[in-house]
Structure 1
Amino acid sequence: MTESHGHGADERVEIDLSALAGALKRALRWLLPLCVAVAIATVVVLQFVPSKFRAESKVLIQTSDAVYPGDVRGIEEERALLDNEGVASQVELLMSRDLLRRVAQRLDLAAIPEFEAGPTSSLFRETLVALGLMRDPGRNSREERVLKVFYKNLEVYRVDGSRVISVRFTSRDPERAARVANALVEEYLDLQSSVKRETTDFAATALEPQIERMRQEVKEAQKKVEAFRTLAGLLIGADNQTLDQQQLGEISTELSDARASQSQAEARANLIRRQLDSGASLDSAAEVLNSQLVQRLRERQVELQSRIAELSTTLLANHPQIRALRSQLADLERQIRNEAEKIAAGLENEARVQQDRVASLTATLETFKVRAAKSNEDQIRLRELEREAQVKATQLDQLMTRYREADTRRNAPQLGADARVISRATVPLEPYWPKVVPIASILTFIVFMLGSLWAILGQFLSGRAFRHMPLGATEAPAAASMPPAAAPGYQAGRAAYSGGGFGYDWQTPVQDAGSVAAANALSPETGPDDVTSVASEHVAGAPAPAPLVPAAVEQMHPRRIAVLSVDSDEVAQEVTFRLVREAAEEGIMPLFLEVRPDLGDPEAVPGFAELLEGSASFAGVIYRDAASRAHVIESGRRVIDDDLAEAGRFEMLMDAIDHTYDQVFFDLGLIDDSLISAQILAMADQVVVATGGSPAGPELEEALRMLEDQTGAPVAVEPVKRKGETARRPSDMAA
């Protein structure tokens, strides 16, 4: 981050991070004792602060069981009680002044000094009251002061995602805190029961005059029905019918019977007449056969025929005796026909009688029809009066049912509340306030941050935090901004190494001017033929950072060192960082290059994978180690697969890095069989196997033999440095 300075147009002003770090280091001499003193003072002061205890009771909002008639609620009533608004209403009820006043009177809280909250006389308070800037506390009643303290120490809230209400109360006495919380819940349940009883009593009292009034209305309506029925002559007979309707039905039935009898008599008379006229036998006429005279004549006729048949065997047909018998037989036949004519005449007379009856009934029926038509309007009016009386009777029954239910609930010994206690408040064992450790820690941290800020501001105000450099100077670092997200591996490494005396600065990554110039020249569009010339031009044109010894570096130290591990990625990273920083301490310009073929994180910063892909330049991926002057290149965001390793940019990048840095340390992590790892091992001058300090096992020995056979480079074993061990020199890495 550069900006122009007022000294001249050919200068630039940069923030000297080393000066700020030195100022913070010097400030620790007085800042650490101050922080310790603040922490001790805070702990001591908090010992004199009165402890407060918090007790908690929980209530579940639910519908009470239906024990008495009328307790059953509708769906809408239950929904209104159990929804969010209903539970919020219960929370407000628990915090109501009336409920708190009942609890205060029950526990006699006014007699407790903690709830007195009386005004303390002070000159400042009296001055504010005199100026009208503050209300005089002495005007408040004793009850108001108690409720004020009650509200201050009370906390009622709904537990998220449930119908549970938590009631918390804070007090200096742990037993009092639990007693007040439980008393508030008990009074809340009693209040609900009493409200239900009052509502029931009010309903029963209100129903009594309504029932009495409805009874009178029902009586009047029934009287109107009976009076109109009598006046209109609509008296009720059998089958709940009026007399006119009943008589009309009877006449209709008699008329039908008369017509049937008339038709039957006429048919029988006509049948006998046809038989007599045709001279046919009368044996088919039932009325003739049923006549007793005809039956006796038929018997006499049969006897004569029998006699004639006997005499015909001995006498001729013209014998006087036979002729006499036949004459008697003909006389009998004539008598039978005469009798049949009489029967036919009787049937005709009966038909005429029924005809006259039909005429009479028809006339009567017409008369009743006229009367029935006239009574239809009266019947309609009567039905209206009956319906009105029935409606009033139904309303009276409903009111009586509701009154009986209300009276039952009113006389009940106990009415259930729409809530139940699921957790009663117990006496707290530990104080809720003050929290000594958190308060002391926070105050100490605030003091430390303020002291650090004071030291840094002093550097800025004195001007020692700025560094003036000519625009053409190559030793001035160029600041770059770190992307907001770092690779997960380095974030873990940063936390792990911070306790060991070295860290990784992600805030102000810096590169030397020469390396930045070469990196910027090597853009993604640079071809393979231009790499060597670009790197050589920038390395030759920019003086090497002192105290570099380029001629002796290659003879004393290998240029390309590959570090891998058979234990974990973290072990390889820790050993690589240590070797890089040891090399930097000897005046060598090293590069930490992380190569993780299987590490792909879209949230990481651009690194070596983006260089191979050609989507980033060196200027966007090189960062400076905060604990040394070494530079760092991360693995990148994408996975380094075989296609990316064979893209042709690997050798080009290695040539540029070799022309810029004295030593390159490759952090390969856990040993694998990727192509990029094989390429790096093939070109490595030194191979280091990092271990966690455990004794060598078969896996480590096999890895050493394989690396020696495949790479041809010296192979060394480097353990993780533990606390208290002396630092190894880079020359000890030789196999």
Structure 2
Amino acid sequence: MASDVDVDLGRLFESLRRDWLRIALFAIGITSIVFLLAALATPRYRAETRVLIEAGESVYTRPSTADDQGRALLDAEGVTSQVQVISSAEILAQVARQLDLASRDEFDAARISLLDRLFIMTGLKNSPAAIPPEERVLQAFREKLTVYRVENSRVIVIEFSSEDPVLAARVPNAVADAYVASQRAAKQRSNTEATDWLEPEIADLRERVKEAEGKVADFRSQSDLLMGQNNTVLATQQLAELSSELSRVRAARSAAEAKIETIRSAAGRGASLENLPDVLASGLIQRLRERQVELKARIADLSTSLLDNHPRIRALQSQLADLDGQIRAEVDKVIEGLETEAETARLRERELVDQLNQLKAESGRAGQEEVELRALEREAAAQRELLESYLTRYREAVARGDRNYLPVDARIFSRATVPAEPYFPKVIPVTIAAFAAALLVMAIVTLLRELFSGRAMRPAAGEMQPVEQVEMPADRERGKPAFPAVSVHHAGDLEEEPETAVEEKPAPAFVPSSSPLGEVHVEAAAEALIATGIGRAVFVSPEGDDAAATAVLVAREVSDAGLRVLLVDLTASGAASMPMLETISYTGITNLLAAEAQFADIIHSDLYSECHVIPIGTADPDRAMRGLDRLPIIMNSLSTAYDLVVVECGPAEAEALARLMDDDTQILVSVLDPADSAIKAARDELRQEGYDTPLLVTPVGHFPPPAPPGRDVA
């Protein structure tokens, strides 16, 4: 069992007090060097000019086609594009020539230091002399110039650093002026190109408009398309009017025929025709009827005093008979007039139908000609609209060129001024920072040296509490613990044991055993597990927890082969996890069963291999036993995450292994003494429970790895 150590903080920080002089001298030396370098460094000055990207046009002079272009210029991509324009080689070369930067020493890249000459000779750096002078100036210019866009704004900052404070202010102002001038020149060039292109296009369009309108006039005269009201073809308008007239005539003819049919029906029934509406509507008949009524009244008056044969009564009756004859004659004339009216309506209807058919044919022809006429008119209108738009743009471009009104979409709102103080080097802040950093680095070096020397380490204080025993279900029923409880004490409480010389010799990969049980070595068991691809290996140690080291050795052997291996310690004393961890007081499987921890809390790393281990844990055994039904689910989850899960059960009985088994499980029995009767009994018990013949593994000839400083190998 390994002894634990702690860091003695008092002794650790005592080393700082002991070595304070060396730390102070080192810090002062480094600070002096930094101070000299900062004092001798060439000061550099920085100045900046700010440009605002905005639409230069006013609402009164903005062209009608400039809205989309203005929106594209003012968005984020447009402003970023202007940053690239400002830092373009054309503008920088113009400024370099204007300020004669090639004559200044700080832009002369041809000066080569001794170190640069060495790099050039070894081929690690290209010679500046091979680069053209103008390119060298631009290269140095770009290194000193910074152009960027202020985030979430349309402001572009032009920043320049130089050894000369006046030059530091002149360069960004000159770059901004060159950018504005280039934008104005670009607009002037665009305006000139537009007028040069529009002028011949307008002349060509005028000819095309004239030709298109001539085609419209020629076609209209040839097709004889006369336009009526509402801008419709006359034939179509006449067709509509004639259709209305035909409907009216047909209605009149139908009404006359209905009247005649009524009169004929009344005559057939022997009814009086004088009471018909059309007859009564006649003025002559109405007057005759009135005369008839008067004669009948006079006859009635005279009949009171005269006989029927009286000459006066007979004269009146004769007049009444004449009136009846006149009424019948007038009725016949009315009926004849109705028949004449019906016949006239029929003739008019036939005439209108003939005219309607003629107009239909003429209207169809006029419709086809109208379609072609409209196509010609649309072509002429399109050419005319295009000509008008070109004329408008041409006049705008000519007016802007004549008046020299070409506003730039950028404005310099903050010009650079000559800086009063250099931004580099800041001698005092750099010196203070160097002193603090030197103190910190030297203090860390001193502490690490004290730790690595072991002088700051001391044995861990206190005594570890014994680990309670964990019972398997079958053993709980028998009333005895499956694993005996053991106590782990601090290494300082134990007496030193004399070291026993052990002759180290390499163990063979597989050594056949002469024992009748046929056990194999650790290497052979690991090779068998790797070759068969088993996902879970359950170790049983009938001889007690001392044999749990076999499972540890097999797990490490498989892990060294490159597989992901996890060892689960189910022994009562934690014997399997003792050689793998610094202490057995880690959270483990009982904490997970008791719902006190998660998987990430109980999985720990082996100190001597890439293997992982889950110790027995620190939870209350009785509470952990209540969650024992979750053990198969836990084992399945672990088998999914690892290539091999090794479970050390200690001296467990065969019937207690049911929760640990699945279809991909191999049972192994740890053997220390093949002559021990418990080995054969355990093998026979496993067979009786229905398990396959277990693989017997012995650790004989296998030596554990050496312990790290301050630890013993269990």
TM-score range, shorter chain: 0.5 to 0.7
Checking the alignment, whether the CA contact within 8 Å between 1:259 and 1:354 is kept in structure 2 is yes
Find the partner of 2:64 among 55, 70, 80: 70
Structure 2 Cα separation of the partners of residues 379 and 97 of structure 1: 63
* Deviation (angstroms), 1:223: 2.1
CA 1:72–1:319: 2 relative to 1, 3 Å: same
CA deviation profile, 1:620-648 (whole Å, cap 9, x unmatched)? 99xxxxxxxxxxxxxxx99xxxxx99999
Q: Is 1:263 aligned to 2:254, yes or no?
A: yes
SS of residue matched to 1:432: coil
Moved more, 90-99 or 258-267: 258-267
Q: Is 1:90 aligned to 2:68, yes or no?
A: no
State how 1:329-728 maps to structure 2 within 5 Å.
329-374=320-365, 377-400=368-391, 402-403=393-394, 417-420=408-411, 423-437=414-428, 507-508=451-452, 510=454, 515=459, 535-538=492-495, 617=582
* Deviation (angstroms), 1:249: 3.6
Q: Which amino acid aligns with 1:98?
A: E
Structure 2 Cα separation of the partners of residues 338 and 154 of structure 1: 124
Please provide the CA RMSD for this pair: 5.5
Find the partner of 1:157 among 141, 144, 148: 148
Structure 1 Cα separation of the partners of residues 495 and 153 of structure 2: 69
CA deviation profile, 1:594-644 (whole Å, cap 9, x unmatched)? xxxxxxxxxxxxxxxxxxxx99757999xxxxxxxxxxxxxxx99xxxxx9
* Deviation (angstroms), 1:335: 0.8
Residue number in structure 2 paired with 1:99: 91
Find the partner of 2:294 among 276, 281, 303: 303
Find the partner of 1:167 among 134, 158, 162: 158
Q: Which amino acid aligns with 1:538?
A: E
Q: Which amino acid aligns with 2:158?
A: V
Residue number in structure 2 paired with 1:587: none
Checking the alignment, whether the CA contact within 8 Å between 1:157 and 1:165 is kept in structure 2 is yes
* Deviation (angstroms), 1:270: 4.8
State how 1:133-282 maps to structure 2 within 5 Å.
134=127, 136=129, 140=133, 147=138, 149-159=140-150, 164-271=155-262, 278=270, 280=272, 282=274
Q: Which amino acid aligns with 1:306?
A: A
CA deviation profile, 1:228-252 (whole Å, cap 9, x unmatched)? 3333333334443334334434443
Q: Is 1:324 aligned to 2:315, yes or no?
A: yes
Residue number in structure 2 paired with 1:679: none
Structure 2 Cα separation of the partners of residues 425 and 537 of structure 1: 80
* Deviation (angstroms), 1:505: 7.9
Checking the alignment, whether the CA contact within 8 Å between 1:519 and 1:619 is kept in structure 2 is no
CA 1:532–1:237: 2 relative to 1, 3 Å: closer
SS of residue matched to 2:347: helix
Structure 2 Cα separation of the partners of residues 256 and 514 of structure 1: 125
Q: Which amino acid aligns with 2:75?
A: L
* Deviation (angstroms), 1:135: 5.5
CA deviation profile, 1:425-473 (whole Å, cap 9, x unmatched)? 34323212233346657888999999x9xxxxxxxxxxxxxxxxxxxxx
Q: Which amino acid aligns with 1:242?
A: V
CA deviation profile, 1:85-112 (whole Å, cap 9, x unmatched)? 5444322211112222444466x44597
Checking the alignment, whether the CA contact within 8 Å between 1:272 and 1:282 is kept in structure 2 is no
Q: Is 1:290 aligned to 2:282, yes or no?
A: yes
CA deviation profile, 1:47-97 (whole Å, cap 9, x unmatched)? 45542211123445566676313365449x8468634x5444322211112
Moved more, 31-40 or 320-329: 31-40
Structure 1 Cα separation of the partners of residues 322 and 151 of structure 2: 124
* Deviation (angstroms), 1:195: 2.7
Q: Which amino acid aligns with 2:170?
A: R
* Deviation (angstroms), 1:45: 6.3
Structure 1 Cα separation of the partners of residues 379 and 56 of structure 2: 39
Structure 2 Cα separation of the partners of residues 183 and 442 of structure 1: 37
SS of residue matched to 1:155: strand
* Deviation (angstroms), 1:295: 3.9
Checking the alignment, whether the CA contact within 8 Å between 1:214 and 1:392 is kept in structure 2 is yes
Checking the alignment, whether the CA contact within 8 Å between 2:95 and 2:175 is kept in structure 1 is yes
Number of positions where the alignment pairs a residue of Structure 1 with one of Structure 2:
483
CA deviation profile, 1:195-248 (whole Å, cap 9, x unmatched)? 344334433442333333233223222322332333333333444333433443
Structure 2 Cα separation of the partners of residues 151 and 92 of structure 1: 12
Checking the alignment, whether the CA contact within 8 Å between 2:468 and 2:485 is kept in structure 1 is no
| Alignment gaps of 5+ in structure 2 | 1-10, 470-483, 500-577, 587-600, 603-616, 622-714
Structure 1 Cα separation of the partners of residues 585 and 456 of structure 2: 13
Find the partner of 2:49 among 45, 57, 63: 57
CA 1:646–1:149: 2 relative to 1, 3 Å: closer
* Deviation (angstroms), 1:169: 1.0
* Deviation (angstroms), 1:515: 4.7
| Alignment gaps of 5+ in structure 1 | 1-16, 453-493, 543-613, 622-636, 639-643, 649-735
Checking the alignment, whether the CA contact within 8 Å between 1:269 and 1:345 is kept in structure 2 is no
* Deviation (angstroms), 1:393: 3.6
CA 1:646–1:235: 2 relative to 1, 3 Å: closer
SS of residue matched to 1:508: helix
Structure 2 Cα separation of the partners of residues 39 and 513 of structure 1: 33
